[in-house]
Homo-oligomer: A and B are copies of this chain.
């Protein structure tokens, strides 16, 4: 069928071992034979059989990148950075960096992890927040543990660290985002401007990203003594709970949730969204209700995606260095950068104050 190593060897009149050596370039070969082999490779248009080589060498050049939503630039930016960092490895170490779209589904995440394990992937980079169900979290942690045991490098990027395993060793390298801190500073900014009736529009409740950002938001509220802003866990309908609406991490959801928020609290002076995409939906909803931003209602997002600076008005948000984080994850995954102490590094989130936030119209 296809051209094999043996064909090349015959054509170049050397042994297949020699061909293998010039191709992998990890062993001395005389310049003359080397040239002869390369010419044979060219003439026969030979392409290595990846599976065979992976089997024999017990390693593969596949690197998997898991994302929750490939159509979302938040993930696209990170994945692109990981991939280009890995593609940098020219020549011998050519890796196939490959992104897998889980759609945010825990099952598919596990499925992809298994598929990658089956391929004996060299590394796996898991991006974005995790689903929180105890069972699923445990299943993922177990799967990642098995991957590392099998020699696959695992890097978490934008996801909280795994619980430590029994055997001391940090299970996987983690680049965690400071979602709590960023969210807290953002809400503090609004508080400082004088806002007190602040709505919060966020994604699915059972995601780490949702929870951490919400915790930061409420921590700021509580610290400022905003009435009723109790602990999230408190039962009943505290003011904070009444002003929090969950949905999906997309624009449509942000739109609807903002309308709901307005229904619950017409006197709202600010809306904090759990990400920029939701914030855009919130802006659209407010505008459709005849409210001006920020004159009537301030709006803030999170992530600082490229479009946020271009929105009208430009969106106040929290900047996450997605590209840098992805690139670093890529280097970590390919062993070109030492793991941070303890295996975990926290990526700082930076407040970006722009035009969509201003002091409230009426002091409450």
List the interface of chain A (C-beta within 8 A of B). 1-2, 45, 47-55, 58, 60-62, 64, 69-73, 76-77, 79-80, 83-84, 87, 94, 96-101, 103, 108, 111-112, 114-120, 146, 150, 251, 280-281, 284, 287, 306-307, 310, 312
Contact = CB atoms under 8 A, between A and B. Distances in A.
A310 B280 contact: yes
A266 B73 CA distance: 34
A101 B76 CA distance: 10
A326 to B, nearest CB: 10
Nearest to A100: B98
B97 A47 contact: no
B287 A307 contact: no
Contact of A47 (B54, B118, B251): B118
Contacts of A76: 69-73, 76
Contacts of A47: 114, 117-118
A310 B47 CA distance: 48
A154 to B, nearest CB: 15
A351 to B, nearest CB: 23
A115 B94 contact: yes
A294 to B, nearest CB: 15
Contacts of A2: 150
A56 B146 CA distance: 25
Contacts of A116: 96
Contacts of A108: 87
Nearest to A116: B96
Given A87-B108, A150-B2, A310-B280, A118 B80 contact: no
A229 B80 CA distance: 39
A100 B96 contact: yes
A58 B235 CA distance: 59
A77 B112 CA distance: 19
B60 A83 contact: no
Given A70-B70, A70-B76, A94-B111, A55 B58 contact: no
Contacts of A120: 49-51
12 contacts: A51-B52, A51-B60, A70-B70, A71-B73, A73-B73, A76-B76, A83-B101, A96-B115, A97-B100, A98-B99, A281-B310, A287-B312
Contacts of A117: 47
A280 B251 contact: no
Contact of A51 (B55, B71, B251): B55
Contacts of A97: 100
A69 B80 CA distance: 8
Nearest to A48: B118
Nearest to A99: B99
A74 B35 CA distance: 44
